[in-house]
Structure 1
Amino acid sequence: MKITEIREITLPISSPIRNAYIDFSKMTLSLVAVITDVIRDGKPLVGYGFNSNGRYGQGKLMRERFIPRVLEAAPDSLLDASGTNLDPHKIWAAMFTNEKPGGHGERSVAIGTIDMAVWDVVAKIADRPLFQLLAERYGNGVPERRVFVYAAGGYYYPDQDHGKLKDEMRGYLDRGYTVVKKKIGGASLDEDLRRIDAILSVLQDGQKLAVDANGRFDLDTAIRYAKALSQYDLFWYEEAGDPLDFELQATLRNYYDKPMATGENLFSMQDARNLIRYGGMRSDRDFLQFDCALSYGLVEYLRTLDMLHQHGWSRTRCIPHGGHQMSLNIVAGLGLGGNESYPDLFQPFGGFPDGVRVEQGHITMPELPGIGFEGKADLFREMRALSA
């Protein structure tokens, strides 16, 4: 049993939207196929992965460093103890060979994308949904197939007025979401408050709004927003300042006693640990948004979960960024608190397998081998073209 080939293609996921920091007009991602010599139904089993939006494709790094290291390793050295499946931890270690600590930004995305594809094919070889495999190996054996999801939207569009913003949010609510998210910090505070009021006017009982500054604010601005946002009952106030400014985050809790969220731009267990140590995050109300596809993959995410446990944090406080099916499987298999969702953006990579519906803010994971990409027809067309 061995990996015979690893392929990457860089694809556009451009969109005429912006948040407080970047626009997405030239956004790309890497799509990866890990091809094995395991034959099922007359064809080699293939695992697929891609990186989340907000970081660009990493094909050059993959081809120069990480893919060759996997392919040059002795095949038997990448197998699990039984010899009947690949071992994601050994493959991860092969990719990280000759890498120094620190400097996580871009290589963590490259490794995380390949790692996703590895876990996909490992679950397919085991003939299990990934969420079931994870529950058996790292959870309590019983996955939670009903997963909370929220709708991420509310970006700044050209010529979007408040009426169109309300229509966007109604569209999410009509599809079964109970929590929606909008961007802040890309307009004045007064205009952002008007946008918040517009959205709140269409919410019903049991429905909530989260807001996301995408790390835009300095401390004074973060505090001004915190004071203004305190009048609302928001689901959370997200990533007010630079993701590595732990002092800002710790100070902000003195001005905002309601839930906050951050972590999507921390790309290692060590950075996540520094957030827990020094960022003033409160385990009884705040949320952590680490995204495995950007932070060295599930192998590293498991280390992060172990660290959180050691610091007294429940896994239910983790609601990953990214809106992809890999995180959905982690949430279901390991008992996390929920997952981000992009109902209309970054297609075909966002969303759920065909036929999966949001009901009262939750989806039910389908019984599909691996991550379940084959269940989403428009996405699988792209994947199949890469591995053909």
Structure 2
Amino acid sequence: MISAPRELPSFMKILEVREKTVPIASPIRNAYIDFSKMTLSLVAVVTDVVRHGRRVVGYGFNSNGRYGQGQLMRERFIPRLMEAEPGSLLDDGGANLDAHKVWACMFRNEKPGGHGERSVAIGTIDMAVWDAIAKIEDKPLYQLLAERYGNGTPDRRVFVYAAGGYYYPGKDDTQLKDEMRKYLDRGYTVVKMKIGGASLPEDQRRIESVLSMLPAGCRLAVDANGRFDLDTAIAYAKALSRYDLFWYEEAGDPLDYELQATLRNYYANPMATGENLFSMQDARNLVRYGGMRPDRDWLQFDCALSYGLVEYLRTLDMLRQHGWSPARCIPHGGHQMSLAIAAGLGLGGNESYPDLFQPYGGFPDGVRVEGSHVVLPELPGIGFEGKADLIREMRALAE
């Protein structure tokens, strides 16, 4: 008797991963770089799963400040995914992707250390994978994260602050105040401006001009973008101590933990840093050796730049072991991925760029800022489909 051939299990699979480099150029500058040539990578992970009559596609992009990473994706990370046995990338049920297995596949044959650019490439694809996973489960990503890694109940109301105050050709204090006033009119109560691109007296004048127009209950944060050596960082710390600032951000080089640790002796108010640390190990070195204070300081690790949410989960575990609460994390980047993580895992909030880097920044259409908080809508995945100008660009890549 001839037995019938054994039927192989039916698994979902990734059909294709597409990538495109897109410009987000602007004439603005901070203390270290200008954005006249800035780009990012837009990624689409196309699956064979259909939900609500449409093929499920996960989307991702990297945060501003690190440029597109298409070549690394095309040469290393996308081929590894497409060459993998499809079942090896799936969860135990075979009906959805397993982000941790996908991450391990991308990182295969990569040596430890050196987290500058590949972390951005992997983090961008990782974002798209999580978007696809949540869409396949037909849940908002924040709900999925709360169920898998949180307390089961997301907090859809998330703190956001308005990042701006860049240096701009011809921009004077009046224009700076007008910019900040527009943020206040939109519902923000915490705003941020750049320092370090001018002299200390000039920056003090700019800071005081903004403080002079802030209503009671509103706060100002300042960001040096890693510009200062120790002596300059201390000089600014002494000058800034007279103001009640929300935080003093990234005074020195992000890897100069000794500078950051020394600075705490001169600045008792809150400080913030971490947006340019791209791995759990670098984040661990910051909390071990950087003198950061878990009762007042803020950590700004950005999953889109630092190997994605898979690595960010490792970072959160590490922080807990060192006595830090996730509520002290307010990620850099201003994207909806970090909003979803904040809602699902209890972060302290997220950055926002109300007028910059569009359409990639911002919130789904109709979401309003009230008291520097937004309430996330119940959209499957990260929620990109709720932002018309953004999803139009994304679908142009995927379809």
Question: TM-score when scaled to structure 1?
Answer: 1.00
Offset from partner CA, 1:276-300 (integer Å, 9 cap, x none)? 0000000000000000000000000
Q: What is the RMSD computed on CA atoms of the aligned residues?
A: 0.5
Q: Give the equivalent residue in structure 1 for 2:8.
A: none
Please tell me the residue identity of whatever aligns with 2:261: A
Separation in structure 2 between the aligned mates of residue 279 and residue 68 of structure 1, nearest angstrom: 38
Please report how far the alpha carbon of residue 43 of structure 1 lies from its aligned counterpart in structure 2 after TM superposition. Answer: 2.9
Paired residue secondary structure (1:379): helix
Q: Give the equivalent residue in structure 1 for 2:332.
A: 321
Please report how far the alpha carbon of residue 56 of structure 1 lies from its aligned counterpart in structure 2 after TM superposition. Answer: 0.4
Q: 1:68 aligns with which of 79, 84, 89?
A: 79
Separation in structure 2 between the aligned mates of residue 153 and residue 202 of structure 1, nearest angstrom: 16
Q: Give the equivalent residue in structure 1 for 2:134.
A: 123
2:310 is the counterpart of 1:299:
yes
2:218 is the counterpart of 1:200:
no
2:322 is the counterpart of 1:311:
yes
Gaps in structure 2 of 5+ consecutive residues: 1-11
Q: Give the equivalent residue in structure 2 for 1:189.
A: 200
Please tell me the residue identity of whatever aligns with 1:187: A
Please tell me the residue identity of whatever aligns with 2:212: S
Q: 2:50 aligns with which of 17, 28, 39?
A: 39
Aligned length: 388
Q: Give the equivalent residue in structure 2 for 1:262.
A: 273
Paired residue secondary structure (1:150): strand
Please tell me the residue identity of whatever aligns with 1:378: D
Offset from partner CA, 1:84-139 (integer Å, 9 cap, x none)? 21100000000000000001000000000000000000000000000000000000
2:388 is the counterpart of 1:377:
yes
Pairing 1:1-388 to 2, within 5 Å after superposition: 1-388=12-399
Please tell me the residue identity of whatever aligns with 1:119: W
Please report how far the alpha carbon of residue 39 of structure 1 lies from its aligned counterpart in structure 2 after TM superposition. Answer: 1.7
Please report how far the alpha carbon of residue 42 of structure 1 lies from its aligned counterpart in structure 2 after TM superposition. Answer: 3.4
Separation in structure 1 between the aligned mates of residue 100 and residue 82 of structure 2, nearest angstrom: 15
Separation in structure 1 between the aligned mates of residue 307 and residue 166 of structure 2, nearest angstrom: 27
Separation in structure 2 between the aligned mates of residue 142 and residue 41 of structure 1, nearest angstrom: 25
Offset from partner CA, 1:244-296 (integer Å, 9 cap, x none)? 00000000000000000000000000000000000000000000000000000
Separation in structure 1 between the aligned mates of residue 274 and residue 291 of structure 2, nearest angstrom: 13
Paired residue secondary structure (1:382): helix
Please tell me the residue identity of whatever aligns with 2:242: Q
Paired residue secondary structure (2:132): helix
Separation in structure 2 between the aligned mates of residue 194 and residue 81 of structure 1, nearest angstrom: 59
Q: Sequence identity of aligned pairs in percent? A: 82
Range 372-381 or range 33-42, more displaced: 33-42
Separation in structure 1 between the aligned mates of residue 329 and residue 317 of structure 2, nearest angstrom: 13
Separation in structure 2 between the aligned mates of residue 96 and residue 62 of structure 1, nearest angstrom: 12
Paired residue secondary structure (1:340): strand
Please tell me the residue identity of whatever aligns with 2:281: Q
Offset from partner CA, 1:41-80 (integer Å, 9 cap, x none)? 3332100000000000000000000000011111111111
Separation in structure 2 between the aligned mates of residue 3 and residue 100 of structure 1, nearest angstrom: 26
Gaps in structure 1 of 5+ consecutive residues: none
Paired residue secondary structure (1:7): strand
Please tell me the residue identity of whatever aligns with 1:138: Y
Separation in structure 2 between the aligned mates of residue 249 and residue 326 of structure 1, nearest angstrom: 28
Q: Give the equivalent residue in structure 1 for 2:6.
A: none
Separation in structure 1 between the aligned mates of residue 75 and residue 319 of structure 2, nearest angstrom: 33
Runs of 4+ that moved beyond 3 A: none
Separation in structure 2 between the aligned mates of residue 141 and residue 206 of structure 1, nearest angstrom: 33
Separation in structure 2 between the aligned mates of residue 41 and residue 119 of structure 1, nearest angstrom: 18
Paired residue secondary structure (2:110): coil
Please report how far the alpha carbon of residue 83 of structure 1 lies from its aligned counterpart in structure 2 after TM superposition. Answer: 1.7
Question: TM-score when scaled to structure 2?
Answer: 0.97
Please tell me the residue identity of whatever aligns with 2:40: L
Paired residue secondary structure (2:42): strand
Separation in structure 2 between the aligned mates of residue 236 and residue 198 of structure 1, nearest angstrom: 17
